Homo-oligomer: A and B are copies of this chain.
Amino acid sequence: MDKVIDVPDLGVPRIVIVGGGFGGLEFVRNLKKTDFQVVLLDRNNYHTFQPLLYQVATAGLEPDSISFPIRKLFHGFSNFYFRLAVVQKVDIEGSRVLTDIGELKYDHLVIASGSRTNFFGDEKIKYHCMPLKTVVQSLQLRSLLLQNFEQALQTKDLQERSALMNFVIVGGGPTGVELAGAISELKKYVLPVDYPELDVRRMEVHLVDAGDRVLNALSPKSSQSSQKYLKKLGVILHQNTFVTSYDGEVATTKKGDQDGVIYSRNLIWSAGVEGNSPKGLDASLITERGNRILVDEYSKVLGQENVYAVGDVACMKTEEYPNGHPMVAPGAMQQATQLAKNFKNEAAGKEKKAFVYNDKGSMATIGKNKAVVEVGNFKSSGPFAWFIWMFVHIMSLLGMRNKSIVFINWFWNYLNYDRSNRLITNRFSKEERKQMRDQGKAGVVI
């Protein structure tokens, strides 16, 4: 018999939630003081505020200020249980979840396992690039960036030196655009004073986008503004262009029938995400594009009685969103809230309600005083949009301490054109990085 995760039997229905992201936490929060046993499983004991990972990677914020301990969120929830576990498989037949620390039976299962980086099957790129989906990856990227600058001092080979200093960011979505902007600000304000021996002007920041405008979830006008900001910061924008190969040193690109090469030791892959669906679900339940789990309007997995999915991993096809809702935090939270309400309604003998996604708008920041914001018909760009962006992000962070510390950091960086956290905390040789990658730890993740 497998090892069993030791959770007491409370004699009430047990809901097991997979994943402590925006959706999973919101679901738990809404089930305080109900007659359900709520068991949350996550591979980390903290929640990650993913929208700000790129600021950790570029030395603007400390990792601890965008992370929040999960247990701390649910003090006083007498029906809440947390287990630090990596979910390996879902066994629908047996109503149980299999994890690295044992199996756990459920009465209801809520899959909120979010999204993961989508490499579209390119194993070579996956092996060599840096992804940016976790706190650990963001610290690795920060270390790699700074370590390559230190190394650039040690070579007289100009091509190698350029490769160490150049960046290729693949994907013109919010992560790619924000990262390109942040790295360009490092280039502008921080690196020249830190490395007076290097000719930082030679450093190139390439943003390679497969589409003809960045941030294509926003209006063409906002894309225009963003591109203007990116160019102002010196980002080299490649549009309608694909990265076709990367071997750790050279990226090859394709635009129409034109081929190109960029020498770079730093390729960051933010070209797409896909649902992080757990193993064990029938293939018919998973979308072909995007690896998301098909759910009905009550977030119930198609054909299942007691299995649900919310957030990025769920795909609820509606007339307005035939490919499912956008994979964004507000959507996950709304969906989780509605699902929790339905659990409570059902227990109280009330009607369940179908979920309706409420688009809260979209925003991205490219640099100091440079951002675009769209909420309904309201569109803004420039310093005011930048201010809104900061306000919304600070308010969305969990906890007063994190809010204060992020505020201080941003205030400090604003006044001093600084990024204070430029510490190489994970220092690895090229051989060690290769070894770790060979062990399947993409992006020198440990």
Contact = CB atoms under 8 A, between A and B. Distances in A.
A446 B426 contact: yes
Interface of A: 5-6, 8, 43-46, 62-65, 67, 69, 71-72, 75, 81, 83-84, 101-102, 135-136, 146-147, 150, 153-156, 193-195, 197, 399-402, 404-405, 408-409, 412, 418, 420-427, 446
A421 B64 contact: yes
Nearest to A69: B422
A65 B67 contact: no
| Most B-side CB within 10 Å, residue of A5, A46, A101, A422 | A422
A424 B46 contact: yes
B5 A136 contact: no
A106 to B, nearest CB: 18
Contacts of A422: 45, 69, 71-72
B63 A153 contact: no
Contacts of A146: 45
Copy count, this protein chain: 2
A320 to B, nearest CB: 38
A150 B81 contact: no
Nearest to A56: B64
Contacts of A147: 84
A45 B65 CA distance: 22
B84 A150 contact: yes
A60 to B, nearest CB: 11
Given A150-B45, A408-B401, A423 B64 contact: yes
Contacts of A65: 62
Given A154-B101, A156-B6, A399 B420 contact: yes
B195 A71 contact: yes
14 contacts: A44-B423, A45-B150, A69-B194, A69-B420, A71-B195, A72-B194, A72-B422, A81-B197, A84-B147, A84-B424, A135-B423, A401-B418, A402-B420, A404-B412
Contact of A83 (B5, B44, B153, B418): B153
Given A62-B62, A423-B69, A424-B44, A154 B401 contact: no
A81 B153 CA distance: 11
Contacts of A84: 147, 150, 424, 427
A425 B65 CA distance: 13
Contacts of A195: 71
